[in-house]
């Protein structure tokens, strides 16, 4: 890992059921003076305020440190976006469990390879999930999620003479949903 001054740690898990302690300990052992944490999906850069804060406020010469690059993102394009932001600020990325260090050519090359594999793994997971859903549908056991809105209730309110706007406001739904229920009558 490079020898630049400040190291800022970033630890992430996808759900609150998962534990961040091992990542935090590894980042502190790597010399991170500050560790930002969040429990959000890595599928997108959106909705991750701690990562955004790090990227907004990192200074030249500082290094963002993670345990593995999949803690940052699940797609190659998101990983490249992060590295581009870091590079534009004169900062670097390093990983404690992988030979990733964007302050040198070897680390950058390894980073690019790992990013490709992380995206590949995500795509395989999606394919397996789609195959599982298709198989469940064939067996007749997959029905999708249960509807959140009771169309019969909407239709009953329409029969009582309530306007679509009143029904939508009363039930906390869109008027479009009311009109869909009306079309099924």
Tokens of 22: 């091992």
Phi/psi zone of residue 172: left (φ > 0), alpha (ψ -120 to 50 degrees), beta? left
Say how far apart CA 5 and CA 18 lie, in whole Å: 31
- The pLDDT assigned to 185 comes to 82
Reference 37, options 55, 17, 23, 57; nearest CA is: 23
Residue pointed to by tokens 């298709």: 134
Model pTM? 0.62
Domain positions in the chain = 7-120, 151-183
Let me know: does 153 contact 171? Beta carbons within 8 Å: yes
pLDDT per residue rounded down to tens, the chain (185 residues)? 444 479 999 999 988 888 999 999 999 999 999 999 999 888 888 999 999 999 999 999 999 999 998 898 877 788 889 989 999 999 999 999 988 888 888 888 887 787 788 778 888 989 999 999 999 889 988 877 777 888 899 999 999 999 999 999 999 899 999 999 899 88
Residue 146: DSSP 8-state: P
**Pure H helices in the chain:** 21-29, 49-57, 76-88, 105-139, 151-159, 164-171, 175-183
Displacement of CA 20 from its chain's centroid (Å): 16
Residue 101: DSSP 8-state: B
Q: Which fold has domain 7-120?
A: Rossmann fold (3.40.50)
Say how far apart CA 126 and CA 87 lie, in whole Å: 31
Angle at 14 between CA 10 and CA 16, to 5 degrees: 95
The single residue of 14, 41, 77, 163 carrying the catalytic annotation is: 14
Reference 27, options 60, 50, 43; nearest CA is: 50
- The pLDDT assigned to 10 comes to 96
Active site residue 14: yes
- The pLDDT assigned to 23 comes to 95
- The pLDDT assigned to 156 comes to 93
Let me know: does 93 contact 104? Beta carbons within 8 Å: no
């Amino acid at each position: 890992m490079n020898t630049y001054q400040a190291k800022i740690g970033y630890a992430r898990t996808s759900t609150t059921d998962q534990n961040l302690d091992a990542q935090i300990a590894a980042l502190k052992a790597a010399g991170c003076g500050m560790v930002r944490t969040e429990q959000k999906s890595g599928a997108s850069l959106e909705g991750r305020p701690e990562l955004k804060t790090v990227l907004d406020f990192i200074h030249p010469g500082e290094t963002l440190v993670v345990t593995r690059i999949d803690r940052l993102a699940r797609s190659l394009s998101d990983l490249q976006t992060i590295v581009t932001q870091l590079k534009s600020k004169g900062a670097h990325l390093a990983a404690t469990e992988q030979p990733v260090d964007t302050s040198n050519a070897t680390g950058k090359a390894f980073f690019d390879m790992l990013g490709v594999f992380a995206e590949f793994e995500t795509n395989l997971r999606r394919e397996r999930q789609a195959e599982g859903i298709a198989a469940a549908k064939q067996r007749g056991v997959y029905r999708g999620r249960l509807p959140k809105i009771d169309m019969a209730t909407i239709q009953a309110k329409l029969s009582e003479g309530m306007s679509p706007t009143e029904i939508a406001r009363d039930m906390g739904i869109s008027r479009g949903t009311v009109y869909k229920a009306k079309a099924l009558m």
